[in-house]
């Protein structure tokens, strides 16, 4: 059987092929990615876009949680100051209820309680990153001194509640409106403190006023539970999302990352094959019967 | 009984035959690397014998003809494989450019979707912040311009492919004209009883080139070769060639006509068919998918917008310009309806600090907006489609390349010039020539004896 005497095209074609393999391997090693174009692995490339989308979503959730956490911590530490202030007001009230005090002593106590009210007012108007923490969804200073209302302090915020997504279908309450925290029916903080002030001034009903302040104290303490719970929720969701991101990163690696050892050995193979092809071409061009005819 | 002069003429015929063989060998060596050249062989036959009484004497050798070694069935197979190869190569070249637009990057459509939703997520913690609102607008604007850019690039590529069809058709016409000319030369040579193999070789090369452009089937007829497309449109018939022409149709793309009939959709292989496949199917499909995705997304976001209130407490309007009815052209025309960051409908109750409607906007991420898929899923399906088209074409191209290589090897084993073989032949023919010359000089000596026979 006669064979094709011109083997150069075959040799060149196989050299072309090994060169292509070599370049693919080099690209995969350099980029660390097995999928550099969709056609490298169509299903993998499609999966990759979905993984990247979910990773970006998890990043967003985590960023949101970071922001929410700051807000919660501000609110929580504010409420802890409120508790201290109310505690002080209670002991002032108890002091005032002692029958041995003179009018001027009670006036001094009342002045101190008035200072506590001012402190509470500034605590209730606390803001985080430029927005009031206890204004509901309204963008105004929530608590304003107003002698025309019974409690002495007017609430200008609303009862709106915002929620943020911190997971797929996982909504977290973002704020507690000031009306619920400081002006709850039966546990109105400013009403109780103003009542204590008036009781000290008039020296009547001090015990009742003190017990109203105790009621407010208990209410605020119970409100703090919300923030504690929410912070716990954030912590566990952070842990969950970290795990999910790790899983996504692993999936992405499985789908798209270059298998370094395998690719490196492919590169070596391709290089060897090309060297062999080059050697063959060199050899073929030397071999000819003409060379032996003198 | 023969004569000495008869013997001399036998030796002379050997000399001539050997010289002819040396001629053929020399031509083979000279054309060893000529594309399309089929090796030739001198065909020798015994000269008619001379019969004298009961004796039969040979009268030497004669060079009957010089024949080319080729397999015409193999040629046809190569032409067919060439058509497939031409089609898949043209398809692959075009689709690789399309693929670039769907390659994962920081700015592909998938990434822009993610960035849009990330900006909304950020807005949810501080819904009245103007810089966060501007962030949402910017992300939406980037998404729209990414859609616009891809549509522009695909359209531009479609125009380039259109141009290449005109060029390919011109090339087809040039080739068919040359083939018809060669048909004439072959016929003329054969009419005179001459060997036309060099013309046939040239014609085979041209048909091979033609077959990589367009689907060709060849029919051998009395007047040379007739070429038609596989659906029967004549390209060459004997010495006549039929040119194709191109005309722009109502939709603005080139169509191919043969004798006033539109054969565009009937071309099934060759580079032209590969280009047509991208121009008329792949790119329009992608554009229509992009339109579906863009329109579905715009409508979903606009609907979510309208459920809420803007920063000024007014019922919110569209975020994106409403897509055209039916969605056609939505991706190319995708744009923001407003440049006012206050227009984003974060609030669900009209108060500036409410973020209740951001969740509604974010929900578009998981909403089935087009073809029963979410935006990200729909896009990833497109990535798969493009990648799959290219990957399949690559596999096909590789397989077709292998088959073609095998066929060409087979052709080479029949028609290729082997220099070793020619070298061996050269020695053989040289020796034969030398032997014939030796015979002549021997006869000469014998004649010399004969002429001087009476002198002594």
B121/A61 Cβ within 8 A: yes
Q: Annotate B245-279 with b (16+ C-beta within 10 A) or e (fewer).
A: ebeeeeeebbbbbbeeeebbebbbbbbbbbbbbbb
Q: Say if residue B193 is exposed, middle or buried (CB neighbours under 10 Å; 0-12, 13-18, 19+).
A: exposed
List the single residue in A38, A56, A67 with the smallest CB-CB distance to B125: A67
pLDDT band at A277 (very low <50, low <70, confident <90, very high): confident
List the single residue in A49, A59, A160 with the smallest CB-CB distance to B383: A49
B423/A288 Cβ within 8 A: yes
Task: Please state, as a whole number, how many other Cβ atoms lie within 10 Å of the Cβ of residue B176.
Answer: 24
List the single residue in B99, B117, B413 with the smallest CB-CB distance to A39: B99
pLDDT band at A9 (very low <50, low <70, confident <90, very high): confident
DSSP letter, residue A132: E
DSSP letter, residue B232: -
ipTM attached to this prediction: 0.84
CB of B373 within 8 Å of any CB in chain A? no
pLDDT at A285 over 80: no
Interface test with B, best of A158, A162, A255 (most B CBs within 10 A): A162
A45/B353 Cβ within 8 A: no
- The secondary structure of B291-321 as a DSSP string is HHHHHHHHHHHHHHHHTSB-TTSSBP--SBP
CB of B379 within 8 Å of any CB in chain A? yes
List the single residue in B117, B383, B418 with the smallest CB-CB distance to A38: B383
CA angle at B402 for the pair B400 and B407, rounded to the nearest 5°? 95
Q: What is the pLDDT along chain B (456 residues), one digit of tens a residue?
A: 468 888 889 999 999 999 999 999 999 999 998 988 999 999 999 998 888 888 888 889 999 989 899 888 898 899 899 999 999 999 999 999 999 999 988 889 999 999 999 999 999 988 989 999 999 999 999 999 999 999 999 999 999 999 999 999 999 999 999 999 999 999 898 888 888 888 989 999 999 999 999 999 888 766 678 888 888 889 998 889 999 999 998 888 999 999 888 999 889 899 999 999 999 999 999 999 999 999 999 999 999 999 999 999 999 999 999 999 888 999 999 999 999 999 999 999 888 889 999 999 999 999 999 999 999 999 999 999 999 999 999 999 999 999 999 999 999 999 999 989 999 999 999 999 999 999 999 999 998 988 888 776
Q: What is the pLDDT of residue A155?
A: 93
Q: What is the pLDDT of residue B76?
A: 87
What part of A 6-35 touches B (C-beta under 8 Å)?
A: 6, 9-10, 13, 35
Q: What is the mean pLDDT of residues A252-277?
A: 91
What part of A 181-200 touches B (C-beta under 8 Å)?
A: none
DSSP letter, residue B336: B
List the structure tokens of A3: 């064979």
| Residue spans per domain, chain B | 4-69+416-455, 77-403
Distance, in Å, from the CA atom of B139 to the CA atom of B301, rounded to the nearest integer, reads: 13
List the structure tokens of B36: 């399309």
Q: Say if residue B44 is exposed, middle or buried (CB neighbours under 10 Å; 0-12, 13-18, 19+).
A: middle
Q: Say if residue A91 is exposed, middle or buried (CB neighbours under 10 Å; 0-12, 13-18, 19+).
A: exposed
Distance, in Å, from the CA atom of A29 to the CA atom of A18, rounded to the nearest integer, reads: 16
Instruction: Say if CB B133 and CB B342 are below 8 A apart.
Output: yes
DSSP letter, residue B324: P
Q: What is the pLDDT of residue B162?
A: 93
Which residues of A are less than 8 Å from B104 in CB distance? 35, 38, 45, 48-49, 52
Q: What is the pLDDT of residue B1?
A: 45
Phi, psi for A150 (deg, rounded to 5): -60, -40
Model confidence pLDDT, tens digit, residues A89-107 = 999 999 988 878 888 888 9
């Amino acid at each position: 059987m006669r064979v094709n005497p011109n083997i150069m095209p075959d040799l060149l074609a196989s050299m072309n092929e090994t060169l292509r393999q070599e370049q693919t391997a080099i690209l995969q090693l350099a980029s660390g990615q097995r999928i550099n174009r969709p056609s490298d692995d169509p299903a993998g490339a499609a999966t990759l876009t979905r993984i990247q989308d979910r990773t970006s979503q998890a990043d967003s959730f985590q960023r949101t949680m970071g922001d929410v956490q700051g807000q919660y911590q501000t609110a929580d530490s504010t409420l802890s100051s409120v508790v201290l202030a109310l505690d002080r007001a209670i002991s002032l009230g108890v002091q005032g209820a002692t029958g041995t005090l003179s009018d001027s002593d009670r006036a001094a106590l009342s002045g101190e309680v008035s200072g506590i009210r001012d402190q509470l007012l500034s605590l209730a108007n606390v803001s985080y990153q430029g927005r009031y923490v206890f204004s509901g969804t309204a963008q105004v200073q929530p608590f304003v001194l107003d002698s025309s209302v019974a409690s002495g302090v007017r609430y200008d915020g609303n009862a709106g509640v915002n929620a943020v997504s911190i997971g797929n279908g996982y909504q977290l309450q973002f704020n507690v409106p000031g009306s619920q925290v400081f002006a709850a029916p039966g546990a109105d903080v400013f009403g109780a403190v103003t009542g204590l002030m008036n009781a000290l001034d008039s020296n009547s009903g001090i015990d009742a006023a003190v017990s109203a302040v105790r009621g407010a104290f208990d209410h605020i303490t119970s409100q703090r539970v919300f923030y504690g719970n929410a912070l716990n929720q954030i912590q566990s969701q952070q842990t969950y999302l970290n795990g999910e991101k790790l899983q996504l990163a692993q999936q992405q690696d499985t789908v798209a990352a270059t298998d370094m050892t395998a690719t490196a050995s492919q590169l070596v193979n391709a290089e060897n094959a090309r060297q062999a092809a080059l050697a063959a071409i060199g050899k073929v061009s030397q071999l000819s019967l003409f060379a032996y005819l003198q | 009984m023969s004569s000495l002069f008869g013997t001399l003429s036998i030796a002379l015929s050997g000399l001539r035959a050997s010289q002819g063989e040396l001629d053929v060998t020399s031509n083979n060596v000279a054309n060893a690397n000529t594309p399309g050249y089929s090796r030739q062989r001198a065909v020798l036959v015994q000269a008619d014998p001379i019969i004298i009484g009961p004796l039969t004497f040979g009268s030497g050798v004669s060079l009957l003809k010089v024949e080319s070694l080729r397999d015409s069935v193999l040629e046809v197979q190569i032409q067919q494989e060439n058509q497939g190869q031409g089609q898949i190569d043209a398809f692959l070249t075009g689709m690789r450019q399309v693929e670039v637009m769907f390659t994962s990057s920081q700015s592909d459509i998938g990434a822009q979707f993610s960035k849009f939703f990330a900006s909304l997520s950020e807005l949810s913690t501080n819904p009245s912040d103007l810089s966060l609102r501007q962030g949402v607008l910017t992300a939406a604007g980037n998404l729209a311009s990414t859609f616009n850019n891809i549509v522009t690039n695909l359209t531009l590529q479609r125009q380039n492919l259109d141009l290449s069809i005109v060029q390919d058709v011109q090339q087809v016409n040039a080739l068919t004209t040359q083939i018809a000319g060669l048909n004439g030369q072959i016929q003329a040579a054969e009419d005179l009883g001459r060997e036309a193999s060099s013309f046939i070789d040239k014609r085979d090369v041209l048909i091979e080139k033609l077959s990589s452009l367009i689907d060709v089937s060849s029919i051998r007829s009395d007047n040379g070769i007739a070429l038609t497309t596989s659906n029967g449109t004549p390209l060459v018939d004997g010495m006549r060639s039929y040119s194709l022409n191109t005309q722009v149709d109502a939709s603005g793309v080139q169509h191919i006509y043969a004798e006033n009939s539109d054969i565009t959709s009937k071309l099934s292989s060759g580079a032209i068919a590969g280009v047509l496949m991208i121009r008329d199917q792949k790119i329009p499909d992608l554009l229509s998918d992009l339109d579906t995705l863009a329109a579905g997304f715009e409508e979903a976001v606009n609907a979510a917008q309208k459920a809420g209130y803007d920063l000024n407490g007014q019922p919110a309007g569209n975020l994106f310009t409403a897509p055209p009815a039916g969605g056609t052209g939505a991706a190319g025309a995708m744009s923001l309806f407003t440049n006012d960051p206050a227009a984003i409908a974060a609030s669900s109750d009209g108060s500036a600090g409410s973020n209740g409607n951001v969740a509604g906007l974010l929900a578009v991420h998981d909403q089935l907006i087009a073809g029963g898929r979410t935006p990200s899923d729909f896009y990833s399906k497109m990535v798969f489609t493009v990648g799959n088209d290219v990957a399949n074409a690559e596999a096909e191209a590789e397989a077709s390349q292998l088959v073609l290589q095998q066929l060409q090897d087979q052709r080479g084993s029949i028609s290729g010039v082997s220099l070793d073989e020619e070298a061996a032949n050269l020695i053989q023919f040289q020796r034969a020539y030398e032997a014939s010359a030796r015979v002549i000089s021997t006869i000469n000596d014998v004649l010399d004896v004969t002429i001087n026979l009476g002198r002594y």
